[in-house]
Amino acid sequence: MIPTIKDVAAHAGFSIATVSRAINAPHTVNPVTLDKVRQSIDALQFRPSPLGRQLRGERTRLIGVIVPTLANPVFAECLQGIDELAAAQGYRLMLMTTQYDADRERRAIETLREHRVEGLVLTVADADTHPLLDELDRDGLLYVLMHNDTVRRPSVSVDNRLAAYDGVRMLIAHGHRRILMLAGTLAASDRARQRHLGYAQAMQQAGLTPAPAPALEVDFNADELAPSVLAHLTHGPQRPSALFCSNDLLAMVVMRGLRRARLQIPRDMSILGFDGLAMGELLSPPLASVCAPNREIGCAAWRRLLARVTGSYEQLGDAPLALTLPHSLREGATIAAISDHGGQLAMRAAARFS
């Protein structure tokens, strides 16, 4: 009986799609996977149809991009970096969003594979323990993560824990002791969990107790703060003097809620965001933020994926599997220093940036 591609797939232990890519577009397949497929081809003496190979062998030059949402400008900034480089090098992008939903992540990956993308740039909820990424590793579809803070997989990010630590230390240096972290659902984002660890580390090293534990979780898709959340932030003698928001978009929602509660920023409460969105500097007062180089994260993810797709591994040199880019602090006017007397908020930061 003449062996088929299905026989090769079963012998090699990969999917038919992976074997097909190894035959028709070997540059898109991991070298280890490619070697195993070729060994199975030789062992079974499989000979692809020349006509079928001709029909299927043309490269698509199509790259899949999967992000949680475009409502958060962080991902739009990353996408801009990817798109500019991809277009200049003759590649097209196919974009899908997932809303941090596992089923949507699976459907997005399956759809992009059906369109024969040559690789993926993506952001997922939890990179370390993600079964879909394990499948991609097994099947040999190349990918690079962006913003996912992991050392186990090819990725580009900042050190979220260290970045959050530095940001909270800046609040502490301004005299704040009652610092509360606001985040979306921590289970939905490995970045948010790392940022909480940095927040907790900074607080504990300063002899302060983070409260509530692990953080005040809010609906990060909502345009308004829930009344119960707003009441928690604005009432009581132990209300926080500063808020550390796990992303800039959430910080903006918080700022609007506090204004509607007739609190003044930063006189009544200081706000620190995370992401460094350019639009944050257009607010009044300008938003203080822990800044990630979002556009460069997208550019670096593209360069690393392209090197893998084209087999130009020398372009990566001795670069680690996970690339960590530097963060910075933007000390905007939403942070004021607490004076040593009376607990009143000074306006030095606001005056500096006015």
Q: What is the pLDDT of residue 140?
A: 85
Domains 5-56 and 160-293+329-353 share a fold: no
Q: Which residues contact 181 (CB under 8 A, 6 or more apart)?
A: 195, 196, 199, 210, 215, 216, 243, 244, 245, 246
Residue type at 321 in one-letter notation? L
Is-contact 146 317, C-beta < 8 A? no
215 backbone dihedrals φ, ψ, rounded to 5°: -170, 165
User: Mean of the pLDDT values across residues 299-313?
Assistant: 90
Q: Which CATH number fits domain 160-293+329-353: 3.40.640.10, 3.40.50.2300, 3.40.50.800, 3.30.70.1230?
A: 3.40.50.2300
Dist. CA 333–CA 166, nearest whole Å: 17
**pLDDT, tens only, 7-30:** 889 999 999 888 888 887 777 788
Dist. CA 306–CA 297, nearest whole Å: 14
Question: E strands of the chain, at which residues?
Answer: 62-67, 92-97, 119-122, 143-146, 155-157, 179-183, 216-217, 242-245, 270-275, 288-291, 322-324, 328-330
Residue type at 255 in one-letter notation? M
Strand pairing of 328-330 and 155-157?
unpaired
Cβ atoms < 10 Å from Cβ of 216: 16
CA-wise closest residue to 106 among 124, 118, 121: 124
**pLDDT, tens only, 103-113:** 899 899 989 98
Q: What is the largest CA-CA distance in the chain?
A: 90
CATH superfamily for 62-158+294-326 is Response regulator (3.40.50.2300)
**pLDDT, tens only, 317-345:** 667 889 999 999 999 999 999 863 233 43
Chain centroid to CA 149: how far? 8
The token duo for 25 is 């577009």
Cβ atoms < 10 Å from Cβ of 32: 9
The token duo for 305 is 């994926």
Q: What is the pLDDT of residue 90?
A: 93
Q: What is the pLDDT of residue 53?
A: 41
Dist. CA 286–CA 351, nearest whole Å: 12
Domain borders along the chain are 5-56, 62-158+294-326, 160-293+329-353
Is-contact 207 271, C-beta < 8 A? no
Question: What is the CATH code for 5-56?
Answer: 1.10.260.40
Minimum mean pLDDT range among 34-38, 93-97, 177-181, 344-348: 344-348
pLDDT greater than 50 at residue 346: no
Residues of the chain with pLDDT > 70, as a percent, come to 89
75, 198, 205, 243, 250 from 210: Cα distances, Å: 29, 11, 11, 12, 19
What is the chain's percent helix, strand, coil content, to nearest 5?
45, 15, 40
pLDDT greater than 50 at residue 69: yes
User: Mean of the pLDDT values across residues 130-159?
Assistant: 92
**pLDDT, tens only, 234-248:** 887 778 999 999 999
Question: E strands of 196-253, at which residues?
Answer: 216-217, 242-245
Q: What is the pLDDT of residue 255?
A: 96
pLDDT greater than 80 at residue 260: yes
